[in-house]
Copies of this chain bind each other. A is one copy, B any other.
């Protein structure tokens, strides 16, 4: 994935191999436009797990399209707390232009990452020639916003138990949408319980207790970066997720009702992928793309 084009020293990411192009920034663009986007790519930067893609006070001057790896966006509070705003899977576009001169949030890599960087400066002229870019950006930010609204509702109106279930389900569904070839109910989730706490507005101690509960009840298990969905139906139930939100997560693939989500998960666990399945050997390399931390075990 994201093989460097031509020479290794050359920093351009070859969009033909860019996972990000599957679903996000360049999706649906003509090959010509995709090529143009690639030519404006300032570099396929590698970011190590734990490092910031950009800090909370960094100027907002470029688009980061996450080609490979996991990341999250966060805000630091004045009293030393951290709120995780959302998690970013490959294909997600971070660091979109904002109103002010700087972001109010930062983005940090959870695993080693590769990001495709397009300076804002080229966006204006580029979108003049290719108007679809503006609308594409609007659509991407709109997805961010939907997710943010969803988290807001979860944190504001759900119990700890529901919030944690909600987050696990969200990440599981997004993962499956991202890697359709992955046909297992067990996945690598490069988070700590502290990340879950910071995303759900809880302490990691309490997250731990909630996870124990969910495990004891046979609903889901999360332990040292491995997530197992034990009972999809119950999980959907506890998460209190409505079908619309799930549909939004699945991006352009609306579901009929809640049962459908569970059905999807069942399909997953029973190895009956909906789309044309990838060879089973390939899920590993796609699910755990780049980092050492991304390895299932060793």
Contacts and interface: CB of A to CB of B under 8 A. Distances in A.
A169 to B, nearest CB: 14
Contacts of A240: 77-79
A278 interface: no
B137 A127 contact: no
Nearest to A136: B134
A100 interface: yes
A67 B149 CA distance: 23
Interface in A58-89: 73, 75, 77-79, 81-83, 85
Contact of A137 (B78, B134, B144, B152): B134
A10 interface: no
A164 to B, nearest CB: 13
Contact of A83 (B128, B136, B153): B153
B142 A75 contact: no
A99 interface: yes
Interface stretch (A34-42, A204-212, A246-254, A283-291): A246-254
Nearest to A143: B99
B104 A149 contact: yes
Nearest to A96: B142
Contacts of A129: 131
A277 interface: no
A134 B145 contact: no
A5 interface: no
A128 B157 CA distance: 41
A85 B155 CA distance: 12
A231 interface: no
Contact of A157 (B132, B135, B148, B201): B201
| A-B pairs, 7 with minimum CB distance | A134-B134, A156-B201, A148-B148, A131-B131, A83-B153, A137-B138, A138-B138
